[in-house]
Structure 1
Amino acid sequence: MNEKIMRKKKLQLTFVFLIIIAATYLSSAVTEYNLFESVATIPAAFAWIFSNLIITQEALERLPDILEKLNETIFMSIAATTIAAVFSLFLALMGSKTTKANNILSVIARFVASLSRNIPVVAWSLILLISFGQNSVTGFLALFVATLGFLTRAFIESIDEADQKSVEALTATGATYFQIVSKAVIPQSLPQMISWILFMIETNIRSATLVGILTGTGIGYMFDLYYKNLNYNIVALITLTIVVAVIAIELISTRIRKVIL
Structure 2
Amino acid sequence: MNEKKMKASRKWQTLFFVLLIIGMTLSSSAITGFNIFHGLATLPKAGTWMFSNLLINQESLERLPTILEKLLETILMSIAATTTGTAVAFLLSLMGSKTTGTSKVFGVLARFVASASRNIPVVAWALILLLSFGQNSMTGYLALFVGSVGFLTRAFIESIDEASQSSVEALRATGATYFQIIFKAVVPQCLPQMISWILFMIETNIRSATLVGILTGTGIGYAFDLYYKTMNYNAVALVTFSIILAVIVIELMSNHIRKVII
TM-score by length of 1: 0.96
**Paired position in structure 1 for 2:148:** 147
CA–CA separation in structure 2 for the residues paired with 1:5 and 1:106: 43
**Paired position in structure 1 for 2:102:** 101
**Paired position in structure 2 for 1:69:** 70
1:161 equivalenced with 2:185 (yes/no): no
Runs ≥4 in structure 1, deviation > 3 angstroms?
Answer: 1-18
1:85 equivalenced with 2:89 (yes/no): no
**Count of aligned residue pairs for this structure pair:** 261
Cα deviation, residue 58, structure 1:
1.1
1:132 equivalenced with 2:124 (yes/no): no
**Superposition pairs of residues 198-213 of structure 1, within 5 angstroms:** 198-213=199-214
Per-residue displacement from partner, 1:133-176 (whole Å, max 9, x unpaired)?
11111000000001100000000011011111000111111111
Cα deviation, residue 16, structure 1:
3.3
Cα deviation, residue 15, structure 1:
3.8
Between 38-47 and 175-184, the greater mean CA deviation after superposition: 38-47
Per-residue displacement from partner, 1:232-256 (whole Å, max 9, x unpaired)?
0111111111111111111111100
**Paired position in structure 1 for 2:217:** 216
CA–CA separation in structure 1 for the residues paired with 2:8 and 2:174: 56
**Paired position in structure 1 for 2:257:** 256
RMSD: 1.4
Cα deviation, residue 19, structure 1:
2.7
TM-score by length of 2: 0.96
Per-residue displacement from partner, 1:194-224 (whole Å, max 9, x unpaired)?
0000000001001000000011110001100
Cα deviation, residue 45, structure 1:
1.2
Cα deviation, residue 17, structure 1:
3.3
Cα deviation, residue 8, structure 1:
5.4
CA–CA separation in structure 2 for the residues paired with 1:255 and 1:51: 37
**Superposition pairs of residues 35-50 of structure 1, within 5 angstroms:** 35-50=36-51
Per-residue displacement from partner, 1:21-64 (whole Å, max 9, x unpaired)?
22111101012222222222121111111111111111111111
Cα deviation, residue 14, structure 1:
4.1
Unaligned runs of 5+ in 2: none
1:119 equivalenced with 2:101 (yes/no): no
CA–CA separation in structure 2 for the residues paired with 1:179 and 1:5: 53
CA–CA separation in structure 1 for the residues paired with 2:253 and 2:191: 19
Unaligned runs of 5+ in 1: none
SS at match of 1:156: helix
Letter in structure 2 aligned against 1:132: F
CA–CA separation in structure 2 for the residues paired with 1:55 and 1:13: 47
